[in-house]
A and B are shown apart, each in its own frame.
Chain A
Amino acid sequence: ILNVEQSPQSLHVQEGDSTNFTCSFPSSNFYALHWYRWETAKSPEALFVMTLNGDEKKKGRISATLNTKEGYSYLYIKGSQPEDSATYLCAHKTDSWGKLQFGAGTQVVVTP
């Protein structure tokens, strides 16, 4: 993997269902992995910054895991609610002064 890839590109979830999606990144030169939540007509907002292999982070019903050796992170949404509808971006960083390389995002639509 040369770039940051997110899959699926979009998904539709029924309210109350749980879902998850993937961020893949180059496993070499890992420094940090960011997750952002981006609602329509708003700015991206940080969810998690993950730095260690095996890291698990949780914020309310949203959680994330990190595998730096194989180069992937999963984001989970438990019991999806309509307000979870957003595009979820991940971004990979290779060093302290380096840039964040963003994926294209996974668009989540939660229907009542």
Chain B
Amino acid sequence: DTAVSQTPKYLVTQMGNDKSIKCEQNLGHDTMYWYKQDSKKFLKIMFSYNNKELIINETVPNRFSPKSPDKAHLNLHINSLELGDSAVYFCASSPSPGQFEEQYFGPGTRLTVT
């Protein structure tokens, strides 16, 4: 059973389009995250939700909007896609934001904007 799953795995789209990436975890965790792997391969946090409530909102363009319909799902919607949005996006979850909680990562979604 996949613990943290993301769909789609690959996404190729044109500039200006709107797209969504979905994430689901079946671990019963309260906290979910979106990361972007940048061109230098750094993993950078974008958003975090705890029990459907936004707790981390990094400085990302407001074209990016997360949505958490329930604590098992955290989706990422991107409006007006730009070339610079091309990256691998990782979803993760943890039992809580607490001190000892490791994060469980999904397989990543490779987004290519042409």
Chain A interfacial positions (CB closer than 8 Å to B): 31-32, 34, 42-46, 49, 51, 89, 91, 93, 96-102, 104-105
Contacts and interface: CB of A to CB of B under 8 A. Distances in A.
B103 A99 contact: no
Interface residues of B, number: 25
A43 B99 CA distance: 22
Contacts of B63: none
Interface stretch (B39-47, B68-76, B77-85): B39-47
B102 interface: yes
B58 A99 contact: yes
Contacts of B41: 104-105
B12 interface: no
Given A89-B43, A99-B48, A43 B90 contact: yes
A96 B99 contact: yes
A102 B102 contact: no
29 contacts: A31-B99, A32-B99, A32-B100, A34-B103, A43-B4, A43-B107, A44-B105, A46-B103, A49-B101, A51-B100, A89-B43, A96-B97, A96-B98, A96-B99, A97-B50, A97-B55, A97-B56, A97-B97, A98-B56, A99-B48, A99-B58, A100-B45, A100-B103, A101-B45, A102-B42, A102-B44, A104-B40, A104-B42, A105-B41
A101 B58 CA distance: 12
B106 interface: yes
B107 A42 contact: yes
B104 interface: yes
Contacts of B98: 96
Nearest to B106: A43
B79 to A, nearest CB: 24
Most central of A44, A93, A101 by chain B CB within 10 Å: A44
Contact of A44 (B43, B44, B56): B43
